[in-house]
Chain A
Amino acid sequence: GNSVTQMEGPVTLSEEAFLTINCTYTATGYPSLFWYVQYPGEGLQLLLKATKADDKGSNKGFEATYRKETTSFHLEKGSVQVSDSAVYFCALKAGGTSYGKLTFGQGTILTVHP
């Protein structure tokens, strides 16, 4: 079956530090990959996505590259801010399966201190 594995959290960083949150996946076919962000008490928002191998998704200084050879989609940001504190979810939509159904990782809590 399809699955997504994220690095264990929580992650605590100082402002302006470099961020990496690892994400690896198992899927049949050619999945699309997503990163969602959830701020406290809110629903999820799409942060970025990539739909095929070697695509790089980017938004708000975050980026992730779809690596088919390592089945990975790691999230990176060069300089985090306090406002980036949130829960980050990696997700996949497997090609050719149930319409739009996403499989989520367990989420990684990020806390950024001033």
Chain B
Amino acid sequence: DGGITQSPKYLFRKEGQNVTLSCEQNLNHDAMYWYRQDPGQGLRLIYYSQIVNDFQKGDIAEGYSVSREKKESFPLTVTSAQKNPTAFYLCASIDSDTYEQYFGPGTRLTVT
């Protein structure tokens, strides 16, 4: 079955620690995205990547970093510089023919 996997589903960290969220897809999609979801605010774009070894900042990139070394993988690092990191993080990829975005199940990060 093709799809997007994110791990872990729940993640707990202490303030001041960097943490990396995993996102893997086997849909052979070129473009991948990271969104942050907060209650009542919809989804906000953090970073996106149109192709391997290339990525662009989204609307709320401060305090986050990404890499795209392989087509299948687009990990997101939440750094200690992110002032309010507790949120639900969603990874997505896009079908370049239909422009439909496919979402992973999400990772809920709690920082205390």
Contacts and interface: CB of A to CB of B under 8 A. Distances in A.
B50 A99 contact: yes
| Range, interface on chain B | 20 to 34
B101 interface: yes
B43 interface: yes
Interface residues of A, number: 21
Contact of A100 (B4, B6, B101): B101
Contacts, number: 57
B2 interface: no
- Majority secondary structure of chain B interface residues (helix, strand, loop or mixed): strand
A98 interface: yes
A45 B56 CA distance: 24
Interface string A75-114: 0000000000000010001000011111011110000000
B90 A104 contact: no
A100 B40 contact: no
